[in-house]
Each structure stands twice: as structure tokens, then as C-alpha cells.
């Protein structure tokens, strides 16, 4: 299943021309994760994950191991134009991702304590 998250328009930072780098979408909760009582290396807690979007929706999913780890790459500084018109840029590995969270159903309505 695929979907779209409607976000507000990005505002460019007037000082440096960059857009905001963080936009809170929701809160991820692992209800079965209790490190003090689980065995080290146990993956049973990965079977149930909740993503709360706003105050009224919850997505149910589970953590899956990726077949191959993926690298998140970030640019360092500005691109430099070389002698032959080639662009050179410096990259760095920011993170290594080994797991993904899969959500398979539509969001469930969730009430709040105040409603």
C-alpha cells in the first residue's frame, strides 16, 4: 500500500537558503519493547509497531529486516566545478539502515483522552 502525507509548504530559511530539515509527522511506538525483561537479541518485540499521526489516527505495522543494508548519504559542502566542467562533490555516509517498518493497513481512528 502506498500513500501520501500532506505537509505544509517548505519555508526557505532566509539566512542560508536551506529549507527546514525536520518536519514532525507522528510518533512511533513499540508497545512490546521492554529491554529490561527481554533476552538480548530477541526480535519478538518487532512484530507490533504503531505510528500515531496527529491525535486521531494510528497505523499498525511491523519491523522487517532488509535483505541488504542501505546507506544514507549526505552531501558535504558545495559542489566544485572541475577543470573539464565536471562537478565534484564530497559525500559522507550519514547512517546505515538495516530494518524497515512496514504498515499494511489503513489508519485506524483513535480517540484522545480529552474527547
pLDDT of residue 39: 85
pLDDT of residue 96: 96
Going residue by residue through the chain (115 aa), what tens digit of pLDDT does each one get? 456 666 666 665 555 545 556 777 889 999 988 888 888 888 888 899 999 887 888 899 999 999 999 999 998 878 777 777 788 888 899 999 999 999 888 888 887 665 4
Q: Which three cell numbers stand for residue 54?
A: 496527529
CA distance 88 to 75: 11
pLDDT of residue 24: 78
pLDDT of residue 41: 80
Residue among 26, 24, 29 at smallest CA distance from 54: 26
CA distances from 56 to 102, 104, 108 (A): 20, 18, 8
pLDDT of residue 6: 67
pTM: 0.65
CA distance 62 to 45: 9
Amino acid at each position: 500500500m502506498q500513500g501520501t502525507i500532506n505537509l505544509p509548504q517548505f519555508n526557505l530559511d532566509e539566512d542560508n537558503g536551506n529549507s527546514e530539515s525536520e518536519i514532525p509527522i507522528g510518533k512511533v511506538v513499540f508497545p512490546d519493547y521492554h529491554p529490561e525483561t527481554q533476552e538480548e537479541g530477541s526480535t519478538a518485540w518487532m512484530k507490533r509497531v504503531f505510528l500515531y499521526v496527529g491525535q486521531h489516527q494510528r497505523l499498525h505495522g511491523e519491523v522487517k529486516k532488509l535483505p541488504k543494508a542501505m546507506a544514507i548519504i549526505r552531501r558535504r559542502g558545495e559542489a566544485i566545478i572541475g577543470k573539464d566542467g565536471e562537478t565534484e562533490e564530497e559525500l559522507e555516509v550519514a547512517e546505515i539502515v538495516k530494518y524497515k517498518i512496514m504498515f499494511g493497513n489503513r489508519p485506524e481512528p483513535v480517540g484522545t483522552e480529552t474527547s
